[in-house]
Each structure stands twice: as structure tokens, then as C-alpha cells.
Homo-oligomer: A and B are copies of this chain.
Amino acid sequence: MSLESRTQTIGQTLLAATHPGRSFLAQMREPWDEKLLAWTMEHPGLRTQMFRLIDTLPFLSGSGEISRHIQEYLHQPGVELPGMLKNLLNFTGRESLTAQVAAQTLTTAVSTLARKYIVGENFSQVRQTLERLGRQGMTFTLDILGEAVLSESEAQGYFQKYIDLMTQLAPVDWGCVPQVSVKLSAFYSQFDPLAEKTTRTQVTQAITQLLQRAGELGVAVHFDMEQYKYKNITLAILKDVLLSDEFRSRTDVGLTVQAYLQESEADVREILAWVKLRGVPVTLRLVKGAYWDQEVILAQQKHWPLPVYRRKSSTDANYEKLTRLLLENHPFIYPAIGSHNVRSQAHALAIAEELSISPNAWESQVLYGMAAGLAKALVAQGQPVRMYCPYGELLPGMSYLIRRLLENTANTSFLRQRLEKENELELLTPPQWAEPTTPLPQGETFMGTADTNFAQMGTADEFLQAIVRVKLQLGHSYFLPHCSRERTLDSVNPSDPKESIGRVGLADISSVQKAMDCAQEAQKIWGSTPIAIRVNLLQQIADTLQMQRSEWVAWMVLEVGKPIREADAEVSEAIDFCRYYSEMAEGLHPGYTYDVLGETNRYVYQPKGIGVVIAPWNYPLAISVGMITAGLVTGNCVLYKPAEQSAVIGCKISELISNLISDLGLPQGVFQGLPGWGEEIGPELVRHPAVHFITFTGSRQVGCQIYAQAAQMSPGQRHLKRVVAEMGGKNAIIVDASADLDQAVQGVVQSAFGYAGQKCSACARVIVLAAIYEPFLERLRTATQSLTIGCATDPATTIGPVIDATAQERLQKNITLAKQRLTVALESAAPTSGYFVGPVIFTDVPPDDPLAQEELFGPVLAVLRVADFDQALQVANGTDYALTGGLYSRTPSHIHRAMQEYICGNLYINRGITGALVGRQPFGGFRCSGVGSKAGGPDYLLQFVEPKVVTENIQRQGFAPVAEEL
């Protein structure tokens, strides 16, 4: 009998044993929780909103809030409500009796649902369930549900829970070895493949202790697998630990492989090689994988290759292939086949039969609550079955619950199909490999460059090596044309100020004049250079940056103290600017046509003339390249003054662009770098009568000065100048009562302290609703405390130095002063060897305190307490700035109001407020945050062109070609 026939036969047996067999009457009487699932399957719009509502539910206090959210979520355009649900929701007034009924009904239904998938909220409940499973002939593995681990205290808490659990498990006689399942990322709050060394050290330490204690207690430990980005480092750590002398002989441990990963087969083969080397078997659990949506979203958003299979059937096919591979290697490993798909389990049984593997040599696993019938049927077949049992409270378990609900209601879900298929036997059809050969649908008008994906082990090495190479080039001198060879400035490494980055010859007033003369000559040529050549220049800049990515990262790490991941993203941004502005310029080029009979009308864009770019140090590459290329691609000659603090990178950019221009046979006057002291040459650059526009990014004070100065006519000037200025911000994030704190804390930490808060977009104020103020603050405090402060060259660093001694002193002074009037929630220590400032959090800051009004540009965060959402918006809007803003909320009406009322240029909802992407999130603000249209946006280039209309009467002697058949 062939394998497939056996699979079918076994499958039919299992199906028969597990037939739901629900009568019509039973369906009529089905409880709310089942109705709810049924409805979501029938109405895709309702499905999304219902799961979002369920996700929010545990965070809402009182039936008023619950009924309000029910209405806000479910009364939406596109959400079709089944009649019964419509009746239930047909209430007005949040406190009415019917509203209370609705709230109660839904809450009960969700609790009922949760109890189906979660074995218990406390150990006594858990013990009851596990003993029942034991009576049914099943073993178990216990997984403690938890919130995201954002801090070391939370990591410690997670660890301790497992120790406690194991301690509780050990004394009981389960009739089998009790097992727990753990997630590696929860053992270290800064778990990060880029910070490989630290992550390995921290995690190894935790699991060593865990395994030791488990060994003492006689509890088996299984290691779960999480998101793809953690996979390689997880396997690397586990292989090392389990190969160590201490644990090499342990068989009561296991690893997990996810069949939806394209790399899974290779991983299994490597694990097999490793386990053979180890000589002692471990359990290898084969699952399909539970993060498919997330993995797809992340890959699409980041423009990374998709790590998972696109089609469920491909995953299923791969699962069968790996099942065989595992079972064939059963002496070396103990296979655990985890699936609630009857076909998958039947197929495993058939293979085991074919290979004559004893049932004791492998086991089946199913998730608690997902396929109780199947588990029983497997037991009945004499197959060992382990139930995966999540344990914990509903609130932290929400993401688990949502994953299970999604899984059960997905179109491709086995459980759903079982309910819907006319002919049950179709469920046993062998899965087909079905990966599309066409690329993923993009739907994006502009495809940004992908940042480096550090998920692959060793990726960081390329950057570390580049840092070593660049270190050999430090201390050189840079003399750009027109600049002095005598007067120079020294740029130093802010992580280590003793280290000179380079010496830069300075431009002075006479340099400016010379450069202007060159630019004026060059403008005649550049202004009429075909768009294709201008675009080509930008493409070459982009290609060069991409080719030299790691070198540019190294220069930024060293000269401005930017951590590697953020420097890497900055290279991408610079490349994106080149490519986006190229596309935009090509789009502008044809202009508009407005022809009528006998007359052509062309609306075209021509260059403005010479532009001055005054760049900041905090994005020394991306903002410089963006401002420069926007001016160049529209046909304007550009004079570029880099910031003093990043003068070496400024010179490198200048050399790069000047060389490419030279290669194109164009005059050097097209682009000229002019490093110099801002106070000295800035005013002259702004004042010069030949200048047509100034593109500036920097402080509010300087921006306003430039704006006013540029508007004055200089002698000999015969046009009005245009100023595009990006200035400061005092950006707020509102944390609503319904916020997902896992997200909110993470987003605030990242937004406030990324690059030591030295971003225009950085979060300087968190406005927190009183209802969740305390828990939020506590998690924020500990999460911030867990950040790694250090040299930017260290991949583990999350917070590097501030830019220079002046900034350090200014920040320290402001912190000292603020401490005199405000409460400090956290003040972190910092190394003293460089310009370091440890993150500081002030709490209960009054909205009018200078700390909540004035930009500090450093790792200092003000936490403000507000009574309600109205007040939150009012406080958020209550500064001179309007750059970025954020909101964490799961209340649809609040999200909607924020979209309308939040005064800022870039509003981010339920995510961090930094890291705007070119094209996707055009960046810029108004009020005192800036003037001009958004960088990386559809209107940006319009600021550097003059529209011209050419109208031609094409009649001659009353004749123009008119179609005779008009």
C-alpha cells in the first residue's frame, strides 16, 4: 500500500473519530462566542474589526467604555453586521441598559473564547486541566503567556515565573516528565541579532540557569521559535549551550522549526548535522509557524525578501517533506509533529508506519483548545500526544488569543475548511507546492532602498570591518576648492573626543564669492542640461552610496556617534532621496499641456537658479544629499555648507558629487562644497545677490534669521529668494487609556532616545492619560533603564554620545536646572570618556514648563499627565512647534480626532514617531518647525523651479490642422 493510500486511510479514520456532528439544533443554540467566530468567517470586514475590538477589550474599564468601543469598532463603513449582532448593538447612550447588555454579552463571549485556548489563569486551574489531559493519555508542555519584555526587570520577571512554575510542577506526579516551553527573546530585553555578542552572553546566562534549575527539578525544557528575525541567533545560542559540556548529555530539551520558513529545510539539515556531532538526541518540534501576517508585513514594509512561503499549501507541502526528514532521523532526534491538521498528522503516522518507527520514538503535538478531538483520536491510535498549553492571564495572553482566532477563521485554516467543506475527504488532498513565480504585489509608487537586514548572522561584521578600515583613514586633511589651507577645523569622534576624524580647510567670505562666480557660469550650462543627464547624476550618487554603504555607515558612526543600525538607515535614506527626486523630476519635466484648437499651451518647469544648502550634523549624509540633489536635479547649481560637526562627511559628500560631475564633463560650479563656520560664511551665503534659494535644516533660531535675511533685497539682486527651512520640534506622543502598552512603551523609548534624542522628529514629551499613567511610567522607566549606553562603534549600543561638548554641557545644565523644579523618574548614568548624556525622564511635567516647551535635542523626556483625551490634544498642540506627533490608542474616535486636530506635520498612530521614509512618509512641519513643503514628498521639488507657460498660436492665415470630421 502506497504512502498516500495509507495517509488517506489514516486520515479518514481520524476524521471519522473527530467529526463535529453538530445538529441543526445545536447550531441554533450555539453560544455567543461561537456565533462570534462564525460571523467573522462570513463577513471579512467584521472579522478585522471584531478582532481589533477583542484585542482592546481587556484594557477597557467599565461597561460604558466597552459599549462605546463596541460601537466605534463595529459601526464602521464596510463592516456588515449580521442581524442578531445588529440588534445587540442597537443602543444609544453608553450607559443604557441595552449598552450594558451588549458590553456584558461581548465580554462573556470573549472570556469564554479565551478559556477555550488558555489552560488557566493560576496554577490550580492549570493543574486541574493538566490532570484531566493526563487521564486522557496525553502529556503536556506549558507556555507562560506574557507581555512584551521591554526591560531587564521584565526579563527577570519572565525568568522567575518559569522558575516558579517549574518549582510548582516538580512535586506533582504527572505520570510523565513535565515540560515547559520558553521563548529566548523574553530573557533579554535588548535581544538583537545586530548586538550578537551581548545578546548571546545575556541569553546564555539566563538559559544556563534555567536548564540547571530544570535539571534539578526534573522538568524538561523546550525552546520555542518566534519571529524570523530571531531565528538564526536563537539557533546559534541554543546550539552552543546544548553543546557545552554542562548540557551536552541532556535529552530533556528541544528546539523548534517552522515549516513556513523558506530556510526551514536547510535549518533542519544543519540541526541534524549538529545533533549528530552532539551525539545525544534532542526533541525537534516541527510546526507550521504562527507569525505569517507579521512576517509578510515586515518584509513588505522593509523591502526585504519574504522569509515565509506565500501560499499555505506550500507550507503544508514543506511540512510533509520535513516530517519525513525528521522521522527518517529519529534515532538522532525525537520528532514532535505539531499540527491540528488531520492530513498532516495522518501523513506523519503513515510515514512512521512505513519507516516502522516505534510510537515511542516520536510524538504528536496539538495546541490546547484547537483540536481536542484530533488529540483524542491520535491517542486512540496509540500515538503519544503532547498538548501545548498556554497559561496566564487574559490581558497578556491577548496576542496569543488573537493568533488562535485568526488561525481558526482564516480562509485557508483547516478548522475553518472543515466547517465549510461539503465533502470532508477533500481535506485529505495532498498539499500542492504552489509558490507564485511572479513577484509580490507592491502597490507602492516609489520603492525605497532596503535597510540592511541583520537577521542573518554575521551581517554586522561587514560594518565592523568597515569601521576598522575607516579608522585607518582618520585624521586626514580635506581641502575643497576655494577653501583655505591654513585655517582649518578639526572634527572629532564624540564617542572618544581624543580621536580626530579629520582636518578640514575652511571657506571664508572670499571663498563664497569665488564659488558664486563659478556657479553663475555653470548655471548657464547646468540649467539647460537635459533632464536625463541630471537624473543620471543622481542615480550615480545613489549607486555609489549603495556600493559604499558600510563605509558611509562607519564615517557616521565615527564622526557623529550614530549607532550602526541608524547609520545604515541613513544611507538608505540618502539613496532614497536621490531616487525619489529623480522620479519626481522626471515626473515634473513634461509639465502640463493645455492645447486647444489652433493654440498649444505648455506649462513647464525651469530651474530657479543658484541654491545654497545649509545642512545639519544629525543626518550628515541623508539630509545633505536630499537637499543637494533636490536642487541639482531641478537644474540649479548648488553651494553646500555642511555642519561644522560633520565637516569630514561633508567633504566626502562634496568629493563624491564633484567627481561624478567632473566625470560627466560638467563644470565644477554645478556643485561646490563650502565647509566653514556658520557664523562666518552663513550670512554671506544667504545675502549674496546671486542666490535664488536657501535650503536649510537646523535650529529654529538660525532658520528664522535666514528667513528674515533672505527676504531683504541685496544690492544687485533681481529676484526674490525662496527659503525652505526645516527647524526644530517639541514633539509629543499621546498615550491614550486604550493604548497597547507593549507598543507604546517601545515606541516612546525608541522615539525619545534613538540617536540620543538628536532628531528633529524625536519625542520630547509623552502625554499620558491618568488612567494608565502609573503602569506606563513604570514600564517606560525600566525599559529606558535597560538601554545600552556606549560608543557608537559597539553594535550593542542603543544610545551613543551627543554630538559635542557644547551639546553635552547645554543638556547637563538644562537637566540640572529642571531637576530643581521637577520630579526625576529616571536619570541614567553614562560613560565619562566621551560626550555622553544618560537618558533622563522627568515626570508630571507641567505643560508650560520650559522642559515641555523648549527643544533640547538630547535624551531628555518630559512625561505629562492629563485627565482625558481632550486635554491630551490640547497639551500636544500647545507649543510653538508642529513637526511630528504620535498617538497610541485603540479608540477609533480618538484616532479619528487626532487625524483632524493634532497640529503637526507628521502624525504617527500606534507606532514610533521617528524614521520617516522618503516617499512613504514625506517629512516636515510648520509653525516654528519649518517653512516649505515636505522633504521626500510630492511637492518638494516645486520649491526649486519656476513654472513657465509657453503659448503658441499655431494658426497661419487662419489655418491650423482641424480635424475635418470634428
**Contact residues in B for A399 (Cβ distance below 8 Å):** 957-958
Question: Chain B residue with minimal CB distance to A887?
Answer: B952
**Contact residues in B for A958 (Cβ distance below 8 Å):** 291, 293-294, 297, 399, 402-403
Instruction: Tell which of B406, B720, B905, B950 touches A959, judged by Cβ atoms closer than 8 Å.
Output: B406
| A contacts, CB < 8 Å to B | 44, 48, 51-52, 55, 291-294, 296-297, 300-301, 310-312, 398-399, 402-403, 406, 410-412, 440-441, 443-446, 528, 592, 594-599, 601-603, 608, 703-704, 707-708, 710-713, 718-720, 722-723, 725, 740, 743, 880, 890, 895, 899-900, 904-911, 916, 919-924, 926-928, 930-931, 933-934, 937-939, 942, 946-962, 964-966
Least CB distance, A926 to chain B, in whole angstroms? 5
Given A922-B603, A922-B949, answer yes or no on A956-B52 (Cβ-Cβ < 8 Å). yes
Question: Are A962 and B596 touching (Cβ within 8 A)?
Answer: no
Tell which of A55, A601, A905, A933 has the most Cβ of chain B within 10 Å.
A601
Question: Are A707 and B718 touching (Cβ within 8 A)?
Answer: no
The complex places the Cα of A890 from the Cα of B719 at a distance, in Å, of 32
Question: Are B955 and A934 touching (Cβ within 8 A)?
Answer: no
Question: Are A708 and B707 touching (Cβ within 8 A)?
Answer: no
Given A949-B905, A950-B899, answer yes or no on A296-B966 (Cβ-Cβ < 8 Å). yes
Question: Are A966 and B310 touching (Cβ within 8 A)?
Answer: yes
Tell which of A592, A594, A704, A910 has the most Cβ of chain B within 10 Å.
A594
**Contact residues in B for A406 (Cβ distance below 8 Å):** 959
The complex places the Cα of A926 from the Cα of B907 at a distance, in Å, of 35
Question: Are B952 and A947 touching (Cβ within 8 A)?
Answer: no
Question: Are A55 and B960 touching (Cβ within 8 A)?
Answer: no
Question: Are B719 and A956 touching (Cβ within 8 A)?
Answer: no
Given A958-B291, A958-B293, answer yes or no on A927-B718 (Cβ-Cβ < 8 Å). yes
Question: Chain B residue with minimal CB distance to A934?
Answer: B947
Instruction: Tell which of B880, B959, B962 touches A51, judged by Cβ atoms closer than 8 Å.
Output: B959
Least CB distance, A414 to chain B, in whole angstroms? 13
Q: What are 20 A-to-B residue pairs whose CB atoms are below 8 Å?
A: A52-B956, A291-B958, A293-B598, A293-B955, A296-B597, A301-B598, A398-B957, A403-B957, A403-B959, A410-B964, A412-B964, A441-B966, A594-B919, A594-B920, A708-B713, A895-B952, A910-B953, A911-B951, A934-B947, A937-B949
Question: Are B398 and A951 touching (Cβ within 8 A)?
Answer: no
**Contact residues in B for A598 (Cβ distance below 8 Å):** 293, 297, 300-301
**Contact residues in B for A592 (Cβ distance below 8 Å):** 938
**Contact residues in B for A953 (Cβ distance below 8 Å):** 743, 908-911
The complex places the Cα of A598 from the Cα of B291 at a distance, in Å, of 13
**Contact residues in B for A51 (Cβ distance below 8 Å):** 956, 959
**Contact residues in B for A398 (Cβ distance below 8 Å):** 957
The complex places the Cα of A905 from the Cα of B908 at a distance, in Å, of 40
**Contact residues in B for A296 (Cβ distance below 8 Å):** 597, 962, 966
Question: Chain B residue with minimal CB distance to A295?
Answer: B958
**Contact residues in B for A904 (Cβ distance below 8 Å):** 948
**Contact residues in B for A930 (Cβ distance below 8 Å):** 720
Given A441-B966, A909-B953, A947-B905, answer yes or no on A920-B601 (Cβ-Cβ < 8 Å). yes
**Contact residues in B for A443 (Cβ distance below 8 Å):** 595-596
Question: Chain B residue with minimal CB distance to A952?
Answer: B909
Question: Are A301 and B909 touching (Cβ within 8 A)?
Answer: no
Instruction: Tell which of B908, B910, B947, B957 touches A55, judged by Cβ atoms closer than 8 Å.
Output: B957
Given A720-B931, A942-B933, answer yes or no on A907-B948 (Cβ-Cβ < 8 Å). yes
Tell which of A722, A922, A923, A950 has the most Cβ of chain B within 10 Å.
A950
Least CB distance, A227 to chain B, in whole angstroms? 8
Least CB distance, A746 to chain B, in whole angstroms? 12
